Chains A and B, each alone.
Chain A
Amino acid sequence: MLVNEKIAIEHGLKSDEYKKICKLLKRIPNFTELGIFSAMWNEHCSYKSSRIHLKKLPTKGKNVIQGPGENAGIIDVDDGDAIVFKIESHNHPSFIEPYQGAATGVGGIMRDVFTMGARPIANLNSIHFGSPQHKKTKNLLRGVVHGIGGYGNCMGVPTVGGQTSFDSSYNGNILVNAMTLGLVKKNKIFYSKAAGLNKPVIYVGSKTGRDGIHGASMASASFDDKIEEKKPTVQVGDPFTEKLLLEACLELMAGDSIIAIQDMGAAGLTSSSIEMASKGNLGIEIDLNKVPCRETKMTPYEIMLSESQERMLIVLENGKEELAKKIFDKWNLDFAVIGKTTNTKNIELFFDKKQVAKIPVNTLVENSPMYDRKWKKSKLPKKIKFEKSKLKNLKILQVLKKVLSSPNICNKEWIWRQYDHTVMGDTIQKPGGDSGVVRIHGTDKAVAATVDSSATYCWAHPLTGGKQVVCETWRNLISVGAKPIAITNCLNFGSPEKEENMGEFVECVQGIGEACKYLEYPVVSGNVSFYNQTKEIGIKPTPAIGGVGLIKNYKKMITMNFKEAGNQVLVIGKTEGHIDQSLFARLVLDEKNGPPPEVNLFNEKNNGETLLNLIEKNYIKSAHDVSLGGIITAISKMCIKGNKGIELTIPKFLINEIEYFFAEDQGRYLIEVSKEDLKNVIKILDKNSVHYDLIGKIIDNDMIINQKTKVTIDELKSYNTNWLKEYMV
C-alpha cells in the first residue's frame, strides 16, 4: 500500500508529524515504516506532551541506583540488595475488556521488573471506577479484580496493597494502574542498553499473534462511541507462559550470557528493538521470517506492531546461543535468533529475503516530536463558609455511619481476598493496612509499599493535590515503621490538547516535584497516561503515587490495630478543621467546592521523622495516618481491626466536634502508646515542636464520645464492611 498523509492521520499521526517523517527519511515511508513511526511517536511511547515537564522532577538521591528511563527504577536497600519497582497504567484496554486489560497490565509491569534481573516480590494496584450507580461499574470492577487476581495469583507473586475509588468522572474511563516490586542483587542488574557489533538478537517467550496491534496508539487517543470496535486491540494474557518466562530468564541471568534485555511491551518488537539499539548507539538487523508466529501469513507490519504478551528480546554474547536455547527449551518456550546488532545505526528489517524497512534509529527516538503544549494555570478556590449552626446540629454517629459505609471508605476485603497476598511466605502486613509489607527473603529487612491518589484534591487545586499525594504515601510508609526511600508515579490525565487538562498535568507534576524534593523522596520511575477521556468528558486528574520504604528490622513493623485496653491515643499534627474538599463535605453537606487542605511540607517532614524516631525507640504500639474521612474514621478503623473500643475526649477547641473529627488537615497520624511511655513520648514530641492532642484511652468494646455518645465496635464494623459485599452480590 502506498503511504500518504491521509493514511498517516489514520495512524494517529498529525499532518506536520507526517511531514517531519518524510523530511527525516528524505522520502515517503513505506507502510511498515509508517506503522513503526506511528507506534514510536504516539503519546504512550514518546511522552511527547509530558517529557518537557517530567524533566523537572527530582530523580536523584543517595539510594537511587537507577532513575527514570529504564524498564523500572532501582533503589539501594543495603547489604548488596536492591529493589526494582515501577507503576504503569492499563486504563484504556481495561475499560474495553476489563479482565484481559487488567490482567495484561499486571503481566506487563511484572515483566518490566524481571527484565532487570529482579524476582518480583510484591504487587500493588490503584483502580478507579465510575459512580457505583453507573450501569457499567459493577461489571468493570468485577472484571478488573478477577483479571488482576487471575494474573498475579498464577505468577505466585503476592498482591499486598492497593487502592480503589469510585467517582463519576471515571464513568467513561476507568483507571487500572499496576505496580510491582522486585528484589535483585546490586551486582546482578540487567539493562536494556545493547553493546558490541554482530551480537545475536534473540526472541524468547510466546509466539507473535495479531493481538494488540496498535494497542499503544489506542492508549494515545480519547474514546468515542465506537470503542467496542477496539476490542481486537486489547492484548490477551497468559500468566502461565509468563511464569515460565520469569523462571527461564532468571535462570539465564544467573550466568553471564546476556548483554542487554528488554521486554516487548507497548509497541512490541518495534519499541523493544529500537530502544535497545538507541541506548547502545547501534543499529539492529532483524529477519522477520525468523520471528515465531502464532498465525499464518502475518505481514511485517503486523509482526512489528503486535502487542502479543509474554515476549522478550535479548542481545546475547556470541557463542552463548546454545546454552540459552537449552534453558528456554527446558521451560518449553520459543527461542529464535532473529537478528544481530550492526554499526549502521539503522533499524533494518528483512522479510522473504527483501528489505522491508530501513530507518535511522535516532529519527524514531531523539527526533521524535516534543511539545510544549499550552496550559492553563488554576486558581486556588475560595474557602467555603460553612454554617456553624448547621454543623452543630449534625448527629455525630449518623455522620460516622454514613462515612464508614461510603464506597470510598468502606472495607475493601471483597477485593483483596481475591488476590493471593501470602504466597512467597514473606508477607508480614496484608492489604488493608497503611502499607503492604514483605520481608526481604532470608534477612531481617522488610520493604513497605503503598499506592495512593487524591483525585478530588488534584481537581480542586492541582498544585496542592500533587504535593498531597506524595505526602500521603510518605505517611503511609512511616505509619508501618518504614523509612520512605523513593516513589514511582502513574500520571492519569485527560487530553493534553486541552489547556485545562494540560494545566492540571503541569501543576500536579510541579506539586509532586516540590514535595519529593523537600522530603528527599525522589521519583525513580513512572508512566504517563493521557487521553483518559470519552468525547469531551475527561477524568479528574489522578496522579497515582507508589511509595517504597525500608524497615531495617521487620520485628519493629507497626500495624494500625489497637493493641491493649488502657493504652493512650494521641493525634500527631494540628487539626485546624479544614472541611473543604473533605469526604464529609461531599457526602454529608453535598458541597463540592473549596480548596483542598493545605500541605505544609515542613510539618510533614518533621511529624513523620519524629514518629519514625518514636517507633525506633519502641514507644509506638499502633499507628495510622489520618486521611480521607478525618480523625474519627481513622480511629474507627483502628478499633475495628484491633477489636477494641475507645473513650474519646475532644480537646477544647474553637472548632466544633464535627469539624474536629471529620476535617482532613494534612500531616497527621494517630498513635497508641502505653501509660508508662506517655511521658517520654510527649517529651520527644515537645522537643521536636510537634503538635499533639491527647484524644482518648483504649477500652474493651465500645466507642464512647465525650461520655455521652456510645456505639459498639461490632456496629462500626458492620457499617464499614457491608457496603461492598452487598453491592457486589
Chain B
Amino acid sequence: MKSSVITFPGSNCDRDMDVALKKFGFKNKMVWHDDQELPKSDLIVLPGGFSYGDYLRCGSMASKSKIMKSVINFAKSGGLVMGICNGFQILVEAGLVPGVLLRNKYLEFICKNVFVKIENKENSYFKNLDKNVFEFHIAHNEGNYFCTNEQLKEIEDNNQIAIYYCDHDGNLDNENNPNGSIRNIAGIFNKEKNVLGMMPHPERMIDQSLSGEDGAIFFKNLINNIK
C-alpha cells in the first residue's frame, strides 16, 4: 500500500506520521507542498503542525499551496485523504470537509489524552474495528469545531460525524469535550466518506511506551481495509 505525507512549511508531525505509516506497512513518500504532482498513492495524509505559522487562519495558506490542487482532485475522484490536526484545519479551509475550527473554548493550547467514540464504521477508515471507544491524544489550540445549524443537520443526516469526544465509556458530555466543539465533534467526513479530518493524533500512540497503543489499532486496521 502506498501513502504520501505532504510537508508544508511549518508542518511538524510529518515525520511522526511517516514513522507510523511505515511501521504498519505503508510504503510512504514525503511530498513537498510546492510540487505539482502526487506520487501514485492509496492514501494521502495532511499532517499536523503549524503550516505557515498558523498566521492569518490555521490551514488557510496551506490550503492554497500548489500540491493542494492535486490533493483536491484526488479526493474528488474518490481517493482517501486524511487530515490530522493542522491537516484537518487545511481540509476545512480547502472546503473538502464542512465546518470551521475555532480557538479552544478556554483559549489555551491543550495537550492530553482523550477518549473518542466511533459510530459510523461504514467507511474505509473504521470498518472492521472491533471496539467503539478509543484513547487518542490531542495537542492543539484551534480544535473547537463549529458549523451552522443547517450544516449540522446535513452532516448528521449524511452520517458525516467520524468521531466524538467522550468519556471512558463512550458517553458524550461537556466535561469530556476538551475544546468546546459543537456536538463533541472530534472528526468529520466528507459526504462520500473518503476524506477524513480529525483533531486527535493516532500517530502519537503507536507503541506501549508512548501515550497508549490505540493508534496502532487504528493504523493496522486502516492498512487492512485498504488492501
Contacts and interface: CB of A to CB of B under 8 A. Distances in A.
A422 B110 contact: no
A239 B204 contact: no
Interface in A334-355: none
Nearest to A729: B106
A711 B210 CA distance: 32
B139 interface: yes
Interface string A419-454: 111111111101000000001000000000000000
B209 A417 contact: no
A425 B204 contact: yes
B208 to A, nearest CB: 9
B25 to A, nearest CB: 17
A31 interface: no
A154 B112 contact: no
Contact of A240 (B55, B108, B112, B206): B55
A202 B213 CA distance: 46
Contacts of B108: 146, 417-418
Which bracket fits the contact residues of A? 20 to 34
Nearest to B108: A418
A469 to B, nearest CB: 28
Nearest to A243: B10
Nearest to A424: B16
B137 interface: yes
A153 interface: yes
Interface string A227-247: 000000000001111011000
A156 interface: yes
B151 to A, nearest CB: 29
A147 to B, nearest CB: 12
Contact of A423 (B13, B55, B110): B13
Most buried by A among B52, B54, B111: B111
Interface in B182-223: 201, 203-204, 206, 209-211
Contacts of A557: 209
A428 B9 contact: no
Contacts, number: 85
Given A156-B13, A425-B19, A417 B110 contact: yes
A557 B204 CA distance: 19
Nearest to B55: A240
A149 B210 CA distance: 21
B109 interface: yes
A422 B50 contact: no
Interface in A142-167: 146, 149-150, 153-156
B67 to A, nearest CB: 14
Given A418-B110, A422-B210, A240 B16 contact: no
Nearest to A429: B209
A328 B125 CA distance: 38
Contact of B10 (A244, A420, A423): A244
Given A240-B9, A241-B53, 20 more contacts: A153-B139, A154-B10, A156-B12, A156-B49, A156-B50, A238-B53, A239-B53, A244-B9, A330-B34, A331-B9, A416-B111, A417-B111, A420-B109, A422-B210, A422-B211, A423-B16, A423-B48, A425-B20, A427-B210, A430-B211
Interface of A: 146, 149-150, 153-156, 238-241, 243-244, 330-332, 416-428, 430, 439, 554-555, 557
Interface of B: 9-10, 12-13, 15-16, 19-20, 34, 48-50, 52-55, 108-112, 137, 139, 141, 201, 203-204, 206, 209-211
21 contacts: A149-B109, A153-B50, A154-B53, A156-B50, A240-B9, A240-B54, A241-B53, A243-B12, A418-B111, A419-B111, A420-B111, A422-B201, A422-B204, A422-B210, A423-B204, A425-B15, A425-B19, A427-B210, A428-B209, A554-B209, A555-B209
Instruction: Across the A-B interface, give the 5 residue pairs with the lowest CB-CB distance, nearest first.
Output: A156-B12, A240-B53, A425-B16, A154-B50, A420-B139
